[in-house]
Amino acid sequence: MHASILAPQRKKAIILSGFPLRKFKLGVESSARLMPMRGMIVRMLTGALGTAILLNLPFPIAGPVPFWRASFAWVALVPLLLCLEWLIRSADRARRWPFWAFGAGWLCGAVWFGWNCSWVYQTMHLYGGMGVGLAAFSLVLFSLFLGFWFGVFALAFGLAGRALQRRGFASSAVFGVAPILWLGMEFAIARVPSFPWDELGYTQVDNGLLTRLAPWTGVMGISLLLAAANALLAAGCAASSRRQRKIYIGTWVGLVVVGMSGFLVRPSAPAPVATAMLVQPNLNVVTDDVWVGAQWEQHLAQFAQLAQAVCNQPYYAGLSQNSALQQTQCGGAEAQLDLIAWPESPAPFRERDPRFRQAMAEIAQHEHTPMMIGDAGMDMSPGANGALAYRIYNSASVIAANGAFVGRYDKMHLVPFGEYVPARQLLFFAHQITQQLTDLDRGTERSVFRLVSPNGSAHRYGIFLCYESIFGDEVRQFVELGAEALVNLSDDGWYGDTSAPWQHLAMTRMRAIENDRWLLLDTNNGVTSVIDPNGVVRQSIARNRVGVLPARFGYENQLTWYTVHGDLLGVACAILSVLLLLWSTRVLVGAVSRRQR
C-alpha cells in the first residue's frame, strides 16, 4: 500500500517538472546506446593515432636514424592491432564494427603518410607553383589515397579475426594473421598505387643482422619479421591468462634483444678496386633549367673543372683547374679514374643538342674516361599528318672514353604529377593547378652498359634514375641482366630541405644489400654517396654544396636469390591475404544465414 501511494506521486513529480516519464525512459535508453559509440571512437583514435606516431619515429627525419629510434619499429603496430582486436571482441554489441575497423586503419594510414611524406607540400608549393591552400589540399588527398590501403588491411584483419573467433580460436590467436596481411598490404601499395615508400623493413637498414634477409627476401622479408614481432607483443597484451602473457611477451623480448643486436654487427665488405668522380652541381631546380648566352660556357667550364678535381681527401675534393686526372689520390691510395658521373638535374642537357654532345665528348676524350650524364632524351618519328612526332624522356646518356655516345637509358618508372599526369582524361585540370607539370614518355628497355676503363678492364653498369630506386623488384633486373655495379642518378632538389632525401638514401641502400652490389648515388644537391654491398655508406658529400666525390667502389658478379626471383614473398603473402579474406567472408556470411533461419 505504501508503494502504491508513492508511485503516483513520483510520476506526478516527473510530469510537473516538464519531463514526461516516457521521454525520460527514451533518454536513458538513448544514452545507453551512445556509450559503445563513444568507446569505439576513443579506442579508434588511440589505436590509429598511436600507431601513426610510433610508425614515424623509426624513419629518417633530418639525417641517419639513431639506434633508439629504430627500435620503435618493433612496437609501432601494437596500438592499432589492439584496437582492432577489441573491435572483434565487441562485434556482438556493435553491428557496424567493420566500418569502425576500416576507419581506424584509414585514419592511421592517412596520418602516417601525411607526416612521413609531408615533403609533398613543400614540393608542390615551392617547386610546383601551387598556392598554399592547393599544396596543403594535395597533401591531404595524397594521404587519404594511400591511407586507404591501411584501411583495407584493418578491415581484412577484422574479418579474419572474427571468422577465427567464430571457429573457436582464442582471441590472441587472431594476431597470427597480421604479418601476412601487413605484407600483402605493402605488396598491394607497391603494385596498385605504385608507391612503396618507406616500407617497414627500411627501418632496419643499419641492422647488420636483419639485413642478411634482404638478399633472399628483399626488404619485405624484414617487414614480415617486424610485423610478426608486433603481432606477438599485441597477443601478449591481449592474452587472457597470466601464463600466456608471460610466454608471448617473454618471446617478444628475446626476439627484440637478438634483432636489435644486429646494430652492433658490422659485416665485412670487399675492398674497392675502382674510382668514380661523382659530380654534385647543386643547381637550383627552378631557375637553372635554361642557360642563356655565356651561362652555357660558364657551367660547362665548371663541370670540366669538377671532373678534373684532385682526390686528395677521402670525402670532399677541392677544385683545381690544372690538376692531372689520370693518377688520383683518393683516401691515401693511388687509383686510376674509371667513371665520371653527372646526376639527374635541371641542367638544359639535351641528348640531340650538338653543343651538348661536343662538350661531353671533349671532356671524355680529355680525361680518357667514360661518362654517365643525366639529360633529356628524344626520339622522332613520322606523325599521322606527315609531321614529325616527338617523344621526350628523362634519360641518362653513356659516353665512351673516346667521346662516342654508346647508348642511352630512358627512365621507365615516372613520377606521377611530376613527370606525367595519371588518368589524364579524368584529371584534365592538373596542368592548370601546377605550373611546373610536364608530360614525359616512359622508357621501354632496361639496359646494361659495358664500359672500358683507361686500364683496359671492361665492366657492366646498370643505371636507374631517382625515384626508380624505391622499386626493388625493378632495380634487381639490371643486376639480373649482368650489371656488376649500380649507378643511381638523382635530383633530390625537388624535395627541398625535408626528410625525403634521407628517406631516399635509406631505400637506395637497401637496393645495394638486396643485390650484393656496390651502388653509386650521384645527386644534384645531396646526399651523393658510395654504398657498399652491405648497404654501408662509405663516402658522402654534405647536402646543398657544389662538390665532387672521389668514389671508391668495386664490382661483383654473383647473383642473390632475390635478384633472380624478386618479390616472391610479397606475392605469396598477397595471395594468402586474398584467400584468407575469401574464407573469412564465407564463414561470416554463413553464420549470418544460420542466424536468420
- Residue 420 makes CB contacts below 8 A (sequence gap 6+) with 414, 439, 440, 442
Distance CA 535, CA 107 (A): 33
Q: Pick the closest to residue 526 from 554, 490, 562 (CA basis).
A: 490
Tens digits of pLDDT across the chain (597 residues): 444 444 444 444 433 334 343 433 334 344 444 446 677 788 889 999 999 999 999 999 878 889 899 999 999 999 999 999 988 888 777 678 888 999 999 999 999 999 999 988 888 877 777 788 888 988 999 999 999 999 999 999 999 999 998 888 877 778 999 999 999 999 999 999 999 999 999 999 999 999 999 999 999 999 999 999 999 999 999 888 889 899 999 999 999 999 999 999 888 878 999 999 999 998 887 777 778 778 888 888 888 877 776 443 433 333 323 232 223 344 444 457 899 999 998 888 898 989 999 999 999 998 889 999 999 898 887 766 767 778 889 899 999 999 999 999 999 988 776 666 555 545 444 454 444 556 788 888 998 999 998 888 899 999 999 989 999 999 999 999 999 999 999 998 878 788 889 999 999 999 999 999 999 999 998 789 999 999 999 999 888 888 899 999 999 999 999 999 999 999 999 999 999 999 999 988 876 667 766
> Is-contact 378 393, C-beta < 8 A?
yes
Distance CA 200, CA 570 (A): 13
> Is-contact 171 165, C-beta < 8 A?
yes
- What is the per-residue pLDDT for 94? 66
Cell triple for residue 279? 659530380
Distance CA 491, CA 375 (A): 12
> Is-contact 389 407, C-beta < 8 A?
no
Residues in the chain: 597
Q: Pick the closest to residue 433 from 145, 172, 135 (CA basis).
A: 135
Query: What is the SS3 string spanning 117-180?
Result: CCHHHHHHHHHCCCCHHHHHHHHHHHHHHHHHHHHHHHHHHHHHHHHHHHCCCCHHHHHHHHHH
Q: How many Cα atoms are found within 13 Å in the side-chain-facing hemisphere of 55?
A: 30
- Residue 33 makes CB contacts below 8 A (sequence gap 6+) with none
